[in-house]
Amino acid sequence: MASIFPRKAKSKDTILHEFMFLEAPIEAVSAELIAWGESTWWPQDSLWKYIRQTDGPVAVGTQYVIKINKKSAPDWAAEVTQLLPNRVIERTFTKGLFKGFERIMMEERANGTRVDYELHFQIRGPLNLILWPLVLRKQYVSTIKTTLDALRNFLIAEAKKHL
């Protein structure tokens, strides 16, 4: 039986964007960003953690499960779909909360490196559509900011070791 309600057109992706500047060479920043989620500097109290599902170095095709550190919270999955050292790493979500991708871009500057984190997404699931604006968006943004701060603090500490 056909529905009397018109089907809504799919909206374009929503984009969350965070950036920071690091007074560190792009090679050092890139090495740490490629290890995103698996690095020693990843915040221990992070809302989520990345668990690699494939062996070998991070490359296009590397797969992850992202686990949320809360009881009964759903996991989601991602795969590296673009990797250009010292430029960009992109992970496309393959199942779970998001349809879309996250991209971390690096740009060399005269006195350091600019890092941009972008989340291009659509929310999957009716419950998630309700929870995203009420709770999940704020938690996600806070987690990204905490993660970028942890990266900054790690790189500052590393630089001090070499002085």
Q: What does the pLDDT read at residue 163?
A: 72
Q: Please tell me the distance from the alpha carbon of residue 49 to that of residue 38, in angstroms, as a whole number.
A: 8
Q: Tell me: the pLDDT tens digits for 89-109?
A: 999 999 988 899 999 999 999
Mean of the per-residue pLDDT values of the chain? 88
The CATH T-level fold of domain 15-161 is Alpha-D-Glucose-1,6-Bisphosphate; Chain A, domain 4 (3.30.530)
Total residues belonging to the chain: 163
Residue 11 binned pLDDT confidence (cut-offs 50, 70, 90): low
What would the pLDDT profile of 28-87 be if each residue is shown by its tens digit?
999 999 999 999 999 988 989 999 999 999 999 999 999 888 777 778 899 999 999 899
- Residue 102: predicted pLDDT: 95
| Residue 27 to residue 42: CA distance in whole angstroms | 18
Q: Rounded to whole angstroms, how far apart are CA atoms 74 and 71? A: 9
Query: pTM for the full model?
Result: 0.87
Please give the Cα distance from 72 to 88 (Å, whole number).
33
Query: In which order are the strands placed within the sheet that holds 88-95?
Result: 14-22, 112-123, 98-109, 88-95, 76-84, 63-68, 48-52
Higher pLDDT, 128 or 34: 34
Report whether 69 contacts 48 (CB < 8 A): yes
Residue 162 banded pLDDT, cuts 50, 70, 90 = confident
**Statement: residue 159 has pLDDT above 60:** yes
Query: What pLDDT score does 103 carry?
Result: 96
